[in-house]
Chains A and B, each alone.
Chain A
Amino acid sequence: MIAVINYGAGNLPNAVRALEYVQAPIEVVTDPAAVLAADAVVLPGVGATADTMRSLREMGMDSAIRAVIARGTPFLGICVGMQVLAEQSEEFGLHECLGLVPGTIRRFDQGLKVPQIGWNSVQHDGSALWEGIPNGAEFYFVHSYYLATNDAALVAGRTEYGLTFPAAIARDNITAVQFHPEKSGQWGLKLLGNWVELARGRALGIRDRD
Chain B
Amino acid sequence: MLTRRIIPCLDVKAGRVVKGISFLNHRDAGDPVQLAAFYNESGADELVFYDITASSDERNIMVEVVEQVARQVFIPLTVGGGIRSVDDMYRMLRAGADKVSINTAAVLNPQLIEDGAKRFGSQCIVLSMDARRINEPGQPSQWNVFTHTGRDPRPTGLDAIEWAKRVVDLGAGELVINSMDADGTGAGYDNELLAAISAQVGVPVIASGGAGKPEHLLAALHEGQADAVLAASIFHFGTYTVEAVKDYLAAQGIPMRRTPRPV
| Residue B148 CB within 8 A of the other chain | no
- A138 neighbours in B (Cβ, 8 Å): 3, 257-258
Query: Which of B117-125, B177-185, B213-221 lies at the interface?
Result: B117-125
B172 vs chain A, min Cβ distance (A): 12
Q: Tell me whether A113 and B96 are in contact in the complex, defined as CB-CB below 8 angstroms, given that A142-B123, A183-B74 are known contacts.
A: no
| Residue A126 CB within 8 A of the other chain | no
Query: Which of A31-39, A94-102, A117-125 lies at the interface?
Result: A117-125
| Residue B5 CB within 8 A of the other chain | yes
Partner of A189, one of B4, B74, B173: B74
Judging by beta carbons under 8 Å apart, are A118 and B98 in contact? no
Number of interface residues of B (CB under 8 A): 32
Judging by beta carbons under 8 Å apart, are B204 and A185 in contact? no
A193 vs chain B, min Cβ distance (A): 12
Give Cα A41–Cα B209 distance, bound, in whole angstroms. 45
Judging by beta carbons under 8 Å apart, are B204 and A117 in contact? yes
Judging by beta carbons under 8 Å apart, are A185 and B98 in contact? no
Q: Tell me whether A118 and B173 are in contact in the complex, defined as CB-CB below 8 angstroms, given that A18-B74, A113-B203, A185-B74 are known contacts.
A: no
Partner of A183, one of B76, B120, B203, B204: B76
- B27 neighbours in A (Cβ, 8 Å): none
Q: Tell me whether A118 and B3 are in contact in the complex, defined as CB-CB below 8 angstroms, given that A10-B120, A189-B74 are known contacts.
A: yes
| Residue B227 CB within 8 A of the other chain | yes
Judging by beta carbons under 8 Å apart, are A113 and B202 in contact? yes
Question: Contact string, A90-132, partner B, CB cutoff 8 A, digits 1/0?
Answer: 0000000000000000000000011111111100000000000
Judging by beta carbons under 8 Å apart, are B45 and A117 in contact? no
- B34 neighbours in A (Cβ, 8 Å): none
A11 vs chain B, min Cβ distance (A): 8
A72 vs chain B, min Cβ distance (A): 30
- B123 neighbours in A (Cβ, 8 Å): 46, 115, 117, 142
Judging by beta carbons under 8 Å apart, are B75 and A185 in contact? yes
Q: Tell me whether A117 and B1 are in contact in the complex, defined as CB-CB below 8 angstroms, given that A14-B70, A140-B76 are known contacts.
A: no
Judging by beta carbons under 8 Å apart, are B257 and A10 in contact? no
Give Cα A189–Cα B203 distance, bound, in whole angstroms. 28
- A183 neighbours in B (Cβ, 8 Å): 74-76, 98
Question: Contact string, B145-187, partner A, CB cutoff 8 A, digits 1/0?
Answer: 0000000000000000000000000000110000000000000
Judging by beta carbons under 8 Å apart, are A120 and B3 in contact? yes
| Residue B261 CB within 8 A of the other chain | no
- B124 neighbours in A (Cβ, 8 Å): 10
Question: Contact string, B1-20, partner A, CB cutoff 8 A, digits 1/0?
Answer: 11111000000000000000
Judging by beta carbons under 8 Å apart, are A121 and B1 in contact? yes
Q: Could you list 24 examples of A-B contacts with CB < 8 Å?
A: A13-B94, A17-B71, A17-B74, A17-B96, A18-B74, A21-B71, A114-B202, A117-B174, A118-B2, A118-B3, A119-B45, A119-B257, A121-B3, A138-B258, A140-B75, A141-B2, A142-B123, A160-B1, A182-B74, A183-B74, A184-B75, A185-B74, A186-B74, A186-B259
Interface positions of A (Cβ within 8 A of B): 10-11, 13-14, 17-18, 20-21, 46-48, 113-121, 138, 140-142, 160-161, 182-186, 188-189
The 3 closest A-B pairs by CB, nearest first: A119-B257, A138-B257, A142-B123
